[in-house]
Every structure is written in C-alpha cells, then in structure tokens.
Chains A and B, each alone.
Chain A
Amino acid sequence: MVVRHMQAYGTAVVAGVTPGRGGREVEGVAVFDTIAAAVSACGGPFDAALVSVPPLAVLDAAEEAIGAGIRFLLVPTENVPLHDAARLLALAREAQATVVGPNSAGVIAPAAQLKFGALGGDQPDRAFVPGSIGVMSRSGGLTAEVGLQLKLRGLGVSTAVSVGGDAMIGTSPAELLRRFRADPETDLVVYVGEPGTQLEEDLAAALAEEPGGTPLVAVVLGRFIEAFPQGTSFGHAAAVVERGRGRPSDKIRALADAGALVADSFDEVFRLAQQAIGAQTR
C-alpha cells in the first residue's frame, strides 16, 4: 500500500527486497531475496532504502542496506528493541549514512512530488502543498496535520520530516534545522516537540549557533502531563518524563531563550507561522 501511494505521488521505487520472495513482483516492482541481488540486477547502488520490516528484523535489514552502500535509510517500524536501535545508529554514524527514524511516518517534498514512507497516505496533496516552510515533528500524524493547517491558511511546505517517535532516533531535529537553514527553498521552520529526551534542548543549542538564520516556530506538547507521576508513559515510548528530565516547560524555556518563536498551543503554531511569513514578504 505504501509503495503504491509513493509511486502514485511520483517517487520511483526501483526494487523490493523480501527474503524468500525473490522473483515475484509487487505493484510492478521486482522483488529480490537480497539487496545484493537487487543491486546487480538493477545496476545499483541505490539512493535510499525504506526499511519496512518487523521490530526484531530492523537491525539485520539495516545492516544489509548499509553494507550494500545505501546511505539514506528510513525506518518506519515502531517498538525496535533499544539495543538494536543503538547498534544500528552506531553503525550508521560510522558509515556516514543518514537514518530517519525509527518510528518515522516518512519524509515528503511536495514541489518535487517525492514521498518516502506512509506520510500523506493515499492523498498527500490533501495535507501537503508546495511552499517555503520546513516541517519537522516527533509525531508522524502531526507532521501531516501541520501540513494541512498550513495549507488551510494558504501556506505550503518545502520538506516535511517525521523524525520518529522513539527516544533514540537517527537524524535529530537539531541536525535537520541546520539542513533547513542551508536550504534556499526554506524560509521558515516549524517544529513539533514532545516530552522526554533531550531533542528540544539540542535543537535550542543548534538554533543559537546562527542567530540571524532561518527562524523557527516551535511547540512542545504535553505541558499538562507534568502534573502526573514521573515515569508515566504517554503516547510514544519517548514521551516519558524521568527523574525530572524531559519536562515540556524546561524545553519551552530553552527554545524561547535560544530565540525560537514558541507557541503556547498547537493552534498558535499556525498563527505564528503566518505572522513570520507575512513579516518576511513585507
């Protein structure tokens, strides 16, 4: 289903790999037993791999992809064992491969009609239209909702990235901010954060690196869960406040101190984005 939706949007899916199913075809795409076989048949190496396998198979599949020279991996799988995730991310760092996820809904670039992963579903145009706003979110569903709310206000997206809902992810919001700031097609970045992890604190530090750079509108969800006992997990595995660390209020303060336009609520993100884009075009 994901492959069909990607193809319909315009993404070229060159080969599929499912061990034991070599020789078949899915949505017109040839399936191979190994990535090595796909590379020799299609004259690879490939640009990117969608690592869409069950949690316990993710590490193995990702090692195979990196071993075959692929340097961009999107991992949508949720509930990847933590030791496996740590091994996978260490391997990727060593191989200088970019990993998005685990637990990422995908990446989409509306102007190029490129989409990787489930993000946008069967009707990507409903939520994502081309524009100049870079979107990054720890929640995959909200990545699309941000696109939709921007569209309803006449705004569009350069690239949207669901960075992954897990505590340990490959490409961090801080790294993505640096990439968005280097991207001539992006004039504003919108970020949706959550409780737990140090991702927002790192993002704040990255924002402060270049004070006059592309502005950032940010919101950190879960302010009302601070009242609940520590260690209670809400939603994503990552959204856990442990030992007083990872509190939304601390993250909000760090982002505001670093110069982000911090929204008080999710709806306010779009008012701030509209104002910021309006200020630029005047």
Chain B
Amino acid sequence: MARLLEQHTKALLAERGLAVPSGGEARTPVEAEETAGRLGGRVVVKALVPANRRGSAGAIRFAPDPASAGREAAELLGTVVCGWRVGSVLVEEALELEQELFFSVLLDQVRQAPLAFASASGGVDVEDVWSDRPEATRILVLDPRERPSPYRLRELWAAAGLSGPELMAASALSHAAVDVYFETDARLLELNPIGLVRRGEGVEAIAVGALLDVDDNALPRHPALAALARVGGRPPTPLEVQARKVAAFEPYRGTARFVELDGDIGLLCGGGGGSLVFFDAVQRAGGRAACLTELGGNPSEEKVRRLARVVLSCPGVKGLLVGHNITNNTQGDLVAKGVLAALDELGLGPSEFPVVAREVGTNDVEGRELLELAGIEYLGEETTMEEAAARIVERVRDPAGAA
C-alpha cells in the first residue's frame, strides 16, 4: 500500500472542490501554536502518520486555545503512533458537527469491483460499526469501468437513513470522492468522519478525516502522488530501504523483495511461492529466518549480488540458504556468481559461514560447478526444497558438521 498523509490527501480533495477544514501542518509546538492562533477558537491537533485508528491511539487531541494546542503538539511530536514516528501534526479548526457520517470506497478483490460504504454513524472505527451493527452500513457495488451517476450516491445515503439537505450534501461530497478514487487509482479512500455543519438555512458536508491509499502498481502514472506516498504497512527498516533500491535497479529484470525478520538464517530464495515453502520449512525444522526474500524473474548477476549483500547484512545472520523451485527462467549460473561475489566482498568463507544452495532449472549445471568449486554445499533436484531448508538449519546449529 502507498498511503498519503492526511494534509496531502486533504489538499488533493480541496483541489477537486471537496470541502475540508481550514488548518495547516506544524513541525514544532511553536508552529502549532501559531497556526491555532491564526485559525482562532477551538482546534484539533492530529498526529500525521499514514494510519487509521489514530483516534483510539490517542493521537487526535482537542485544544481550546493556542497555548494548549502547542502543548498537545509537544506531547505528540516525536512519539510513535501505529508504528510510525510523528514528525509533524495537523492543526485544524474544530468544527461544530451536527452529525458525523462514514464513507469509503475500496477495491474489493473478491468481487473484483469497487465498493462504496456509507454509514450515518461516523467518527468511529468502521470495523467496529461493521461487526457490531452491520445493518447501519450500506454498500454500493460499482462497475470498475464506469464512474457512477450522482443519483446512485443519493440512493446509497437515502438507504443509510439521510434525507433533506443532509442527504443532498452527503451525496454530493461522496460523489466527488468517488471521482477522486477513480482518478487516483486508489485502493482505499476513506472519509471518516464526514462532518455535517449547519450553514444558515443549509447544510455543508466537510471531509473532516481523510485517508487515501493509492495502488503502488499505479504510482508510475501519478508521479505527484508517488513523491508523497508512504509505502508499506510499517516503516521500512534500513535494510528494507536498501532492498527497495535493489528492486528499482534494472526494474524490467528480476524480482527482489525483502522483509526483515529477527532470526539468524538468511534466505535468498524464490520465486514467490518457493520463498514461502523454504520459509515454512526453516521454521518447521526449528530454525529462525532472518528475513523473507523473493528473488526471481531472471535477475542479472549484479541484482543477485546486491540483494545477497542485503540478506547477508541482517544482524546476527549465521548462515545462508540459496534456494529456488525449478526455475522457468532464473539462471542458476547468474545466481551462483552473484552470491559468490557478495560472500567474497563480505569476507564470508564457506568453512566458517554455512551456505546451502538448492538451485534447479535454467543453467543449473554451470551454477553447480561454480558453487562447488567455491566449497559451497550444492543440492540438486533430487533434494526437495524442504530437505534443503532442514539442511541449512542443521548446518547453522552445528557449523562443524559440514558435508
């Protein structure tokens, strides 16, 4: 996922004519106090992290005056909320809301279609509304190829219990939001809450809380969003940042995915399913993986070398499993060369650092020759992937018992 921070999401919504509260980003308590002074009256101070459920994490605070806005900002800045460090806060006018609504559009991968959710009970976690009172949420299934006519949003909100000016205001805002969802290739656009505010005789609907999660795969089409989005469910570790650079190197050749874990056996494996087989088998054999890596799609020797260096840099790594299912195109000789270069650069010799390779498929004869020449234990197709995983666990447990 690629999430935008709330101030960016709101700027985008405002550009497209959706009403959002007045406010601004503050990086220091002084800035927060100044912004609150400029807005006047009661304000809300929100930690800017790319997560929902900030309310229940205590990261949304109300402040009656500028001085207390500064104090709230001081408390929030630098803390960790939902795994993310708070680098800045959003200071906004605290509106008098007549009613709070919930609205979201997401791509349902089971129905293979976008779904719009509407509920007249906003401001709370939608998972809770959904599980506690499913009847309070109304769902509209959209056609992925066509933006809906405005009347469909009116039907949705009417079913959710709105009428009169509230119905008209909520429908217009959510129709505009659906447009933003389509236009930005969103996985999720959540407005929670939509605040209904009385304006003279009428009612205005305002996007008080907003979260936009853009499809990573579509980011090349949206360079402006790509520059703002935070990718991933938690902040990446420094090694994961390095691995992303490896993946971006020669983007049209080779897959390189890497998730850092806290075990001691480095996995340089592929493809996607193959990685899971090796990982499961290492854990089942009583080992602990230092990472989960997916290397495939016929990477070059250089890409293998770079990813191998990342894997071998995992703190406390005591051994390496290089493994693939029989490959359709990934070349065993290039994998061997890349791995050997990385081991050599890091000064890891086969006598003190256990390495087991299970490489089968394209050019595996050449790969085997290179690995065996370097003193690395090579296992071929007659050894199953799970047996190879058990072997590295055994070698790491007893480094002296090499084959």
In the assembled complex, the CB of B216 is this many whole angstroms from the nearest CB of chain A, namely 8
- A265 x B273 contact (CB < 8 A): no
- A139 x B280 contact (CB < 8 A): no
- A89 x B234 contact (CB < 8 A): no
- A152 x B324 contact (CB < 8 A): no
- B273 x A141 contact (CB < 8 A): yes
Closest to A119 in B: B328
- A89 x B261 contact (CB < 8 A): no
- B218 x A144 contact (CB < 8 A): no
Select the residue from A56, A118, A234 with max chain B CB neighbours within 10 A.
A234
Chain A residues lying within 8 Å of B329, measured Cβ to Cβ, are: 1, 118, 121
The answer, among A141, A148, A197, for a CB contact under 8 Å with B272, is A141
Given known A82-B107, A266-B281, contact A122–B143 (CB-CB < 8 A): no
Interface size on B, as a range, is 35 or more
Closest to A142 in B: B273
**Count of CB-CB pairs between chains A and B under 8 Å:** 176
- B271 x A86 contact (CB < 8 A): no
* Residues 187 to 214 of chain A near chain B (Cβ within 8 Å): 192, 194-195, 197-198
Report Cα–Cα, A78/B298, bound state, in Å: 14
Report Cα–Cα, A194/B276, bound state, in Å: 8
Chain A residues lying within 8 Å of B272, measured Cβ to Cβ, are: 139-141, 165, 194, 235-236, 239
Asked if B283 is an interface residue, CB under 8 A from chain A, the answer is: yes
Report Cα–Cα, A192/B271, bound state, in Å: 14
* Residues 217 to 257 of chain B near chain A (Cβ within 8 Å): 217-218, 220-221, 233-234, 252, 255, 257
- B325 x A145 contact (CB < 8 A): yes
Report Cα–Cα, A234/B361, bound state, in Å: 23
- B144 x A86 contact (CB < 8 A): yes
- B259 x A141 contact (CB < 8 A): no
Closest to A79 in B: B217
- B328 x A118 contact (CB < 8 A): yes
| Interface SS of A by simple majority | loop
Closest to B255 in A: A78
Given known A91-B145, A194-B276, A235-B272, contact A141–B296 (CB-CB < 8 A): yes
- A81 x B218 contact (CB < 8 A): yes
Chain B residues lying within 8 Å of A19, measured Cβ to Cβ, are: none
- A145 x B185 contact (CB < 8 A): no
- A235 x B276 contact (CB < 8 A): yes
* Residues 19 to 66 of chain A near chain B (Cβ within 8 Å): 54-56
Asked if B155 is an interface residue, CB under 8 A from chain A, the answer is: no
- B187 x A224 contact (CB < 8 A): no
In the assembled complex, the CB of B327 is this many whole angstroms from the nearest CB of chain A, namely 7
Chain B residues lying within 8 Å of A89, measured Cβ to Cβ, are: 112
Report Cα–Cα, A56/B216, bound state, in Å: 12
Given known A82-B107, A83-B215, contact A141–B221 (CB-CB < 8 A): no
| CB-based closest 3 A-B pairs | A139-B273, A145-B325, A86-B144
- Chosen A-B contacts, 24 in total, with CB atoms closer than 8 Å, are A82-B215, A82-B217, A83-B144, A85-B112, A86-B112, A118-B329, A122-B362, A127-B326, A137-B273, A139-B272, A141-B328, A145-B274, A152-B381, A165-B272, A194-B272, A194-B273, A194-B276, A221-B273, A221-B277, A225-B279, A228-B261, A231-B233, A232-B259, A267-B384
Q: Beyond the given A78-B255, A81-B217, A90-B113, could you list 18 further A-B residue pairs with CB under 8 A, ordered by the A residue number?
A: A78-B297, A82-B107, A82-B109, A89-B112, A126-B326, A140-B272, A141-B270, A145-B326, A145-B385, A147-B326, A149-B384, A152-B381, A152-B382, A168-B109, A194-B276, A222-B276, A266-B386, A267-B387
Chain A positions within 8 Å of B, measured between CB atoms, are 1, 54-56, 78-87, 89-91, 105-106, 118-123, 126-127, 137-142, 144-145, 147-149, 152, 165, 167-168, 192, 194-195, 197-198, 221-225, 228-229, 231-237, 239, 243, 265-267
